[in-house]
Amino acid sequence: MAQNFKNHTRWSTPYHFFALPFIIASIWISVDLFIENTDVLHGLMVCAFISIGFAAAFARYFALKVQDRAARADERLRYFILSGKMLPKQLKMGQILALRFASDEELLDLVDRVIFDKLSAKEIKQAIVDWRPDHYRI
C-alpha cells in the first residue's frame, strides 16, 4: 500500500494495543484495590504498576528521540547532497521530520516555502505532492 498523508501514522500493535492498555488497567485496578484495602501490600502494588507505566513511557520516549536524531541526520545529508548547502537552522525538528516524506524533486522548493511561510509539520505533509514513504519510524 502506498503511503500518504492519510495513512502515514504508524502503530505498534504490541505496544499501543496490548502493553499500554494492560498497564493502564493494572494501575486503575491497583488504585481501586488500594482504596478498598489501604494496606502496605496494595500500596506497593500501586507503586509497582505506576513505576512500570513510567518505565514504558520513558522507553517509548527515548526510542522516539533516537529515531528523531537519525531522521534529522538523514535529512541533513539528503539536503546537502541535493543542494550542496547545510539544512537551514531555522527548521524545527517537527518540520524536518515532516520534510522526510517529500520527494527529492520537491524537497528544495518545499524547504524554502517552509521557511518563508512558516509551515507547520501538518501543513508540510499536506503540501507534499510526491510522497516518499517512511516505513521504519514507529
Whether the CB-CB separation of 53 and 80 falls below 8 Å is answered with: no
CB 46 within 8 Å of CB 34: yes
With respect to residue 57, please indicate whether it lies within any of the assigned structural domains.
Answer: yes
CA-CA distance, 9 to 93, in Å (whole number)? 17
CA–CA gap between residue 14 and residue 5 (Å, rounded): 24
Domain-embedded: residue 42:
yes
Q: Which residues pair with 102 in a beta bridge?
A: 131
Written as one string, the DSSP assignment of 33-76 is HHHHS-SHHHHHHHHHHHHHHHHHHHHHHHHHHHHHHHHHHHHH
Residue 81 lies in a domain: no
Question: Across the chain, what does the average pLDDT equal?
Answer: 92
pLDDT at 113: 96
Q: Is residue 127 part of a domain?
A: no
Number of domains in the chain: 1
Q: What does the pLDDT read at residue 11?
A: 77
The answer to the question of residue 44 being in a domain is yes
**100-118 residues labelled b (16+ CB within 10 A) or e (exposed):** bbbeeebbeebbeebeeee
For 44-90, the pLDDT digits (tens) are 999 999 999 999 999 999 999 999 999 999 999 999 999 999 999 99
- Tell whether 43 is covered by a domain: yes
Q: Which residue has the cell 505506576?
A: 50
What is the structure's pLDDT at 78?
A: 96
Instruction: Determine, yes or no, domain membership for 28.
Output: yes
| Within a domain: 23 | yes
User: Whole-angstrom Cα distance, residue 19 to residue 37?
Assistant: 26
Q: Is residue 50 within 8 Å of residue 27, measured between CB atoms?
A: yes
The pLDDT of 85-101, averaged and rounded, is 95
- Provide the domain limits for residue 43: 12-65
